[in-house]
Structures are given as structure tokens and as C-alpha cells.
Chain A
């Protein structure tokens, strides 16, 4: 077993207080890599496992297959039906998580030391040997369909569907991973087996572990849990351009308050200007009460309860997105304010005071994220997926501090384009129409 130790000292905003976490990089005898933080204060362990690919690997015409397959992993495996499986899990008081997103499939596991091996065996069975029996398939299919019907009545989901369909068309990013009523109804057991084979592979797997477990014990766990996963993952989807021009799309929906999802093309996570963009977004709309948009739209004008913007660097496309909700008679004004603040930021950039305040917050907040075994395990996995080294946790605040006013304002001019912003508005907005 190979093993490195990186002592990562997390300095807080204060000079005195420091947190120390020690990240060990290990490789199991079977060749599975993982990052581990040993923490023996509480007798349990958290594992977070991410396999790159996710629901974007749905085969043509099979939208929703991977999502349905994921929902079925806890519904029967080995010689256990759904109830037998859940009865066993509950008796062990372990938590198993199965989740799928556009670009990754995520497994999470939490179990007490006293029955960790039994819990692992049960978790392994659900991953490696799911049954997909007819009764379970029909039950979960009906749950997924109910979710699709619910989304069709939820303003934020309606906005997201319209926005992403217009931005990405036939690329997987252009449709919801749950699929459509038609595509989900048509899925067969064979489709689920294919989905399982496409997603559950060891080619692009990343593991974070935190808790009361040694490196040797973890190595054994990795081989037991994941060693039987096959190689041969399908190709990832191609990169795709953000294909939506500036403008407004109104989707009529009977509700007193309109919701708007807005955005334009963004910046890649590994772009050399990413930290500048990150700080910029914090000041524009990412920073809660301290952001310009929150001040202008909520605090100063009372037009909304909340507004936020986000950098969204997905694996195959990048966006800057934002969302806001306002009364039907106020949403047009809110959009005017957003556009003009967007343009002002692109032209004038941030002030030295704003930059300093953002750096202090972002560097002070970073160590506060490391507050629980499950949270730390998820951070460790996220870093590996992004290709960051373990010592990133030491250097990350230096990257933030290295952002200069000149650079952040250059990036503001390059990244932000008020004319390119497209707003999808769901509701009955006064004075807004779909643009030509």
C-alpha cells in the first residue's frame, strides 16, 4: 500500500486559531485510491464515493434510466427484497446514500464502528448486486413519474426546464435527468441493467473517508466494497456551448409571485482566472446579505426576499446563473435592477473595499466548512474530482488573497455581459413579454 501524508494546516481568519487536518493519500492493494482523515473522537466512519459520469451517460432515447436505476439500488439486492434490505439496514443504524447528478454518481455511507463490517457487506450488495425486480421497478417508476408531475407544477422547476432546454438542446444538460413521462414509462429492466453497467465502474472513481478508521483498515474496506466493480466506462459526453442569447422568455403560470432564472456563459473551474471570477461573483450576488444584488434588490427596494448568483462550472459547459422571485407587478423592475447592476459591475468592477471584505470573508469561511465527518469526506472527494492536490487545503486561501483589484476587474469586463443575460420568468409578470 502506497501512502502519503499531507499535514494540512487550515489557518482561520484569526491569527491565533488554527485547525489541523491530516489528509492521507492511500492506494489499496487492489488499486483503489482514496483520501483519508483519521478522526477518532467519535466511533463512526463516513465514506463519500464519487464516480464521474452521472446521468449524462444515459443512452440515446433512454433519458431517466440512470436516475431510475439509482433509485432502485436500495430497493432489493442479493437475496433480499426491498423490505428485507431496509430492515437489515435499519437494524444496523447505518446510513446509505445513492445520488446521481449530471456529471457524477455519488455514494455515501455512515456506520458505527461496532457493526461496520456488516454494514459494509450490506452496502456492497446494494451496489454490486441489485435485483431490479418487477415489483420494485414499478413502485419506483411510479414515484419518479409523480416527481415529474410535481415538477411540472413547480415554478422553479418549470423555469429550469425551459432555461436548460433552450441553452443546451439535445445535450444531456438540456433535459432533466428524471426523464419525461414518456421516456420513463418506456424503460425496461434491460435498460436498468445497462444503466448500472454504464455508471458503476471503477475507471473514474474517487473516495474520501473520515472517521475512526486506520489507513490499513480503509484499504481493506475499499477492496471489499469496490474491488469487484468492472472497468470499461463509456465515453463522457462532448463539451457543449451555452446556446442561449440575451433576452426574456415568459412562461405563463397562475401564481402571485414570478420566479426568474437568469444567466449566460461562464468560466471553467481550471481557468487561471477562476479565483478572480469566484471573488467577483461573491461581491455581485454570491455573498448573501453582503452582495450588491441583495443590497439593491432586497435591502434598498424590497423587491424580493432573496436573490443569488452562482458560478456553475459543469464538466462540459460553464455558466453564471442567478435566481430571484418577485411579485408579478415587481419582477420587471427587479430585472431592470439586475441588468443595470450587471452592466455597472462589468464596466466599473469592484471597489478596493469590496475586494478586501470579500477576501476576509472567503478566507475566514473556508475552514468553517470542515465541520463534520461527512462534510469533510465530501470536500476530499470534490478536490480529487477537480484534480486538486491534497495541499490545496493549505494553499487555497493564498489563492484567494492573491487576487488583485486589477485582475478581478479585468475578469468582470470579460465575464459579465448584461446584454447576454437571458431571463426565464415563470408567473404572470406585469410588463414582461418573451423577446423576439
Chain B
């Protein structure tokens, strides 16, 4: 669907790899705008992206959803373009365009014939500073984002459950507030809220230009200097310091009830270390831990113990998204098999975890995963736009180009001991939320 939200953590753990370092060139303009050029000359196509280091977790209290609302509004008029003309121009040149908002970033991109790059830069630079909004834009587009929330969240029992879980996971950090916003705050979003956000954060010193495809780095730099280099830096750009989590001292448990739930399940999230600049080893171990515990439904620890050795789970899985500016989560989920209660499923999950902590990592499984991460690096080269996204998410989440390029080797060097000690640290029930998602509370609590 168009103009989508990208949930943090949705990135595949397989494939967090980079293009060969020699295909990537970086520059910084005088006004502070960073540039990453990724060359792939197989087809005369280019992906042009501008990423802003601002997302929903940077919003002021009380205006949740404003980052995403503003992303929609960037397709309205500027001093040079009419409302809708941006996308119409991209389409008229045979390209496609879209945008996305997450907790830590907002991004805009076009995919088009490589010789149309300058036109894309002209328009993208224009809307960095010269947006012109009308009251009608605000009224109509607010209805659109409300319909978007209706479609993605209000219509989905699982999405509503995830919101409650995140709200319980984060006691103080804005990661506990949904990217799209709480409905009651979305309904009150005003033009000035969006303009305040725009004027502060949409600035070259808060932006990263990523150009991937059939381009030469020096040509990209020359075009960028012409179009982005003339935009003044924002002097008042604040440091990116969010409210931090206090020590989490108590396990949280919740039951989410919704008659639309088709399958009951139990899910637990633990607060987890993210990838940090120059310190990605813990996150790399957690990437392996998620794969070892729940990556493959056939060969993972939970799959074997809960589905193959016992008839407990219809499905089990583990997930971890390490690219995040602040603390992320590590998640476990079990969907019980027919006739198994949620209490039995949760107990079996905990027994499986306890056994794993005793038994450790199967060396053969570890080597298979290592081979898959290595292969994923080769397969990833087939998708240069995917590599561009990886740089974008990393650079807006506190990482550097060097970190992105070091990541494949860091992954290859993770040991069984690293994984087990990361597991010891992350499985702290005082930092966890356990949720039961049910159709009817009366059915499950007897």
C-alpha cells in the first residue's frame, strides 16, 4: 500500500549485509548533508532517496503521528510545484515514488531512469524548504491518515495488541507510542504542529542523500552541490537525545481481548541492546540468538522442542531488529496447537528456554547460520535498492558507513559463547512484557 509505515524491526535479519565496500562512495556537503553513492551499473536505473534523521520518537508529547502526517503532506504544493505535481512528474518520467516513516527516520524515494536523477534532486531539494500548505490540505489529509490507521491498526486485532505491548514495554521512551499516532491525538493535529516539525527537522544537516544504481559518484556530488548544497543548514537543530528508559524493575503481563482474534497466542518482548556505532557485537550475537531460537520453524530450538518433539505449538518464532537509535526489543511468540492452553504454551516456552540455556548452541546449527549470512551477502548484491535502504536505516539510527561495512565480518565472527552470554543478558523478566492475545478472557482464565 502506498506511503507506508515501516515498523522498526521489520528488516530481515538475513541480509543485513553491504555492497562490496569499493562500490560505495561517501561525501559531505558544506551545509552538513551526507551523501552515500552505491554503484550498480547492470541496468540504467537509479534509486534516489533522502532520509531525515527524524521519526515518530522525536515528536513532542501530545502530537503523536505528526512525523507521519508531515510525510503525507510533503506531496502537496511547494513554491514551484502544485499539489500532487511531484508524483505526477515522477510518473510522467516513467518512475515510481513513495515515502515512509518509522520511529527513527522519515524517507522519500524515487526509482527512475538514471538520466532523470537531476530532475528528482531538483524537486526533492525544493520540498525540503519550500512546502506551502493550505487548511484544506490539512483537513483532507488528516482524514486520509485516520483511514490509514483504521486500515492498518483498528481493523487488525494483532496490530492493536502490538500497540499495547509496546506501550507496556517502554516506560518512558517514545518507542512506546505508535508511529502512526494515537487516534485521539491524530484527530487534533493542526497545521502549526506539522510546520514546527518541518521547519526544524527538514534541513540539509539533518538529511542523508542516498543514490544507488547506474551513476558515477563525482557526477552525483556535482548535482548534489547544485541542488542541495544551496540550502542553508538549520542552526537550531537539537541533539538527538530522547527521554531514556529508567531501570525496568518489574515484569509486565497483559491480556488483550478482541473477538476478531482467529488464533490465540502468547508473545513476550524483552528490552534489548541495539546496534551501536563501533559496538555491534552484542547485537550480532542477538541476531544469531533469534535465528537459533526461532528462525526456522524446522530446525530452530523452539521449532524442535515445541512442534517436533512435543505437540505444543502450531507455530513458534523469535525476532530481533537491531537497527534502532535506542534500545530495541527481542521477541518470542508461540501459537499453541489445538487443545493446548496459553498457560501450557507459555510454560513450555519457558522450559524450552531454560533447557537451551543449559544445552547451549548446537555447533552445526551455528555453522549453517554462518553460511546463510555469508550467502545472504552475495544474494543482497542483486538488489541495490535494498542495499540503499540498509545504509539509510543505519545512518539514521546512529550508525556510520564504517559500521555498515564492518557488519558482515562481525556477523561471521560471532561465537557460541557470544550468543549464550547475550542470551543471559537479554532474558531478564524484569525488562519484559508477556502478552496473551485472546478472543474471550473467560475462555482462557478458568
Binds A, one of B42-50, B101-109, B402-410, B418-426: B42-50
Q: Using a CB–CB distance below 8 Å, which chain B residues touch chain A?
A: 1-2, 42-45, 75, 84, 87-88, 91-96, 111-116, 139-148, 150-151, 154-155, 157, 214, 259-263, 296, 298-299, 304, 307-308, 314-315, 335, 337-338, 367-369, 371-372, 374-376, 378-379, 381-383, 385
Cβ A302 vs Cβ B142 within 8 A: yes
Cβ A152 vs Cβ B262 within 8 A: yes
Q: If the complex has contacts A16-B115, A83-B298, are A153 and B262 also in contact, measured as CB distance less than 8 A?
A: yes
Q: How far is the CA of A360 from the CA of B115 in the complex (A)?
A: 15
Write the nearest CB–CB distance from A174 to chain B, whole angstroms: 23
User: Inside 8 A of B139's CB, which chain A residues have their CB?
Assistant: 302
Cβ A361 vs Cβ B92 within 8 A: yes
User: Inside 8 A of A374's CB, which chain B residues have their CB?
Assistant: 382
Write the nearest CB–CB distance from A303 to chain B, whole angstroms: 7
User: Inside 8 A of B299's CB, which chain A residues have their CB?
Assistant: 83, 86-87, 90
29 contacts between A and B (CB under 8 A): A12-B45, A14-B113, A17-B115, A41-B381, A43-B378, A83-B304, A83-B308, A86-B299, A87-B298, A90-B371, A93-B372, A93-B374, A146-B335, A149-B263, A152-B262, A153-B260, A254-B260, A288-B2, A289-B91, A290-B91, A300-B140, A302-B141, A303-B143, A305-B144, A305-B151, A325-B150, A357-B91, A361-B94, A368-B112
The reply to whether the CB of A372 lies closer than 8 angstroms to some CB of chain B is: yes
Cβ A326 vs Cβ B147 within 8 A: yes
Q: How far is the CA of A39 from the CA of B376 in the complex (A)?
A: 18
Q: How far is the CA of A80 from the CA of B304 in the complex (A)?
A: 16
Cβ B42 vs Cβ A17 within 8 A: no
Cβ A14 vs Cβ B144 within 8 A: no
Q: How far is the CA of A330 from the CA of B96 in the complex (A)?
A: 29
Cβ A364 vs Cβ B368 within 8 A: no
Write the nearest CB–CB distance from B74 to chain A, whole angstroms: 13
A294: nearest chain-B partner, CB-CB: B2
The reply to whether the CB of A214 lies closer than 8 angstroms to some CB of chain B is: no
Write the nearest CB–CB distance from A89 to chain B, whole angstroms: 9
Q: If the complex has contacts A142-B338, A290-B91, A365-B94, are A17 and B150 also in contact, measured as CB distance less than 8 A?
A: no
Interface residue from B91, B262, B315, B368 paired with A87 (Cβ < 8 Å): B368
Q: How far is the CA of A44 from the CA of B374 in the complex (A)?
A: 13
Cβ B45 vs Cβ A367 within 8 A: yes
User: Inside 8 A of A373's CB, which chain B residues have their CB?
Assistant: 382
User: Inside 8 A of B337's CB, which chain A residues have their CB?
Assistant: 142
Cβ A306 vs Cβ B1 within 8 A: yes
User: Inside 8 A of B143's CB, which chain A residues have their CB?
Assistant: 301-303
List 7 tightest A-B contacts by C-beta distance, closest first. A364-B94, A302-B143, A93-B375, A13-B94, A17-B44, A86-B298, A257-B150
Cβ B147 vs Cβ A150 within 8 A: no
Cβ A303 vs Cβ B147 within 8 A: yes
Q: If the complex has contacts A42-B382, A83-B304, A305-B1, are A149 and B262 also in contact, measured as CB distance less than 8 A?
A: yes
Write the nearest CB–CB distance from B137 to chain A, whole angstroms: 10
**CB within 8 Å of B: which of A1-48?**
12-14, 16-19, 39, 41-44
